[in-house]
Amino acid sequence: MADPFFLKKGRIEEVVLETEDVKRFLISVDGFGEFKPGQFNMLYVYGQGEVPISISSIRSDLIEHTVRLVGDVTEDLFNLREGDILGLRGPFGSHFPIEKFNGFNIILVAGGLGLADIKPVTEYILRNRDYYGRVYLLVGSKTPASLIYKGEFERWKEKIDLLVTVDRPEENWKGHTGLVTRLFDLIEIDPQKSVAMMCGPEVMMVSASEILIERNFSPYKIFISMERHMKCAVGTCGHCQFGPYFVCKDGPIFAYSKMRYLLKVKEL
Ligand SMILES: Cc1cc2nc3c(=O)[nH]c(=O)nc-3n(C[C@H](O)[C@H](O)[C@H](O)COP(=O)(O)OP(=O)(O)OC[C@H]3O[C@@H](n4cnc5c(N)ncnc54)[C@H](O)[C@@H]3O)c2cc1C
Ligand code: FES
């Protein structure tokens, strides 16, 4: 088995500024193996530090990561440019099991930067569109300016139902306003034939999952993406432990049935 601590070298081929604090990096990596929607890599800025970042596309010629500047290492990442080299290990973790749900309707829910983790599932569905029924992508963002991947929206809309809402609309905003969960009132939900997959703030995923359960959705057919501080990413250091699980190895994608009661335990 390959050494999970071996750092591959990645060369940044393209940088796209998505918003004032979010950048998308397209990275060439020799010998990067197969990966699935929802998995992540550890990105290492030489001499600075390492952070877990979701793989935000299914394309395999260039590995895509979308990074928000929040602290020390993401700031160093943010400052990298085309031609710079970084270290990379992965792919790690579980994935959204989209390939198991042929014939189902799919409800994708993304809050803020959570869309970075939902984008590869969306791309997988678009590539295999005939295998799925009705597909909804519900996106919530604080403001129109903080929406990422706006350049992809028109293309996605040709094949799936995309609904976008913002908390604080700006002057020319013509779309929906309010929490992403309000969009559930605008779509058809058939709990027997549907599966939900989501990524965003924990409070959003809990609230969205509970609304779906109230509408007779099974918690076994809701999949959420969990985030915890990580160091090793392979289940040896214990940094990401959450109840009986290591989020890096058992997750980050879990059926809500496994997380439902753990997420209600304070200070876990
Ligand atoms: C599986 C996984 C996938 C992720 N995918 C992405 C992604 O696609 N794009 C992206 O921009 N970020 C992603 N993150 C979050 C990213 O790893 C953190 O933002 C990063 O580690 C912060 O490092 P830093 O040194 O810049 O900030 P620090 O200086 O370490 O921290 C800055 C602030 O961010 C908080 N913080 C740090 N790490 C986390 C975390 N894991 N969860 C919540 N708060 C945190 C700290 O408490 C602090 O308030 C992911 C995290 C995980 C676990
Ligand atoms: S990050 Fe070390 S056990 Fe998960």
End of a domain among 42, 64, 92?
92
Please give the backbone phi and psi of residue 173, each rounded to the nearest 5 degrees, phi first.
-70, 125
User: Three-state SS across 38-50?
Assistant: CCEEEEEECCCEE
Ligand lying closest to the C-alpha of residue 237: 2
User: What spacing in Å lies between the alpha carbon of 2 and ligand 2's midpoint?
Assistant: 18
Helices (H) and strands (E) in the chain, counts: 6, 15
pLDDT tens for each residue of 37-84: 999 999 999 989 999 999 999 999 999 999 999 999 999 999 999 999
Query: Does 48 share its domain with 151?
Result: no
Query: Does 79 share its domain with 15?
Result: yes
Residue keyed to tokens 């990298």:
80
Query: Is 194 inside any structural domain?
Result: yes
Query: Does 42 share its domain with 110?
Result: no
Ligand 1 pocket check for 116: Cβ under 6 Å: yes
pLDDT tens for each residue of 192-234: 999 999 999 999 999 999 999 999 999 999 999 999 999 999 9
Atom of ligand 1 nearest to the CA of 229: 41
Query: Is 3 inside any structural domain?
Result: no
Q: How far apart are CA 61 and CA 140, in angstroms?
A: 30
Q: What's the structural domain count of the chain?
A: 2
Q: Categorize the per-residue pLDDT at 1 as very low, low, confident or very high, splitting at 50, 70 and 90.
A: low
Is the four-CA dihedral 68, 176, 150, 118 of positive or negative sign? positive
Query: Does 85 share its domain with 206?
Result: no
Domain that holds residue 14: 8-92
Query: Is 1 inside any structural domain?
Result: no
Ligand 2 pocket check for 222: Cβ under 6 Å: no
End of a domain among 92, 120, 146?
92
The whole-model pTM stands at 0.96
Query: What CATH number does residue 179 fall under?
Result: 3.40.50.80
CB under 8 Å to 185, separation ≥6 — which residues? none
Query: Does 23 share its domain with 86?
Result: yes
Ligand lying closest to the C-alpha of residue 224: 1
Residues in the chain: 268
- Nearest residue to 215 (alpha-carbon basis) of 180, 189, 181, 186: 189
Query: Does 132 share its domain with 105?
Result: yes
End of a domain among 43, 60, 92?
92
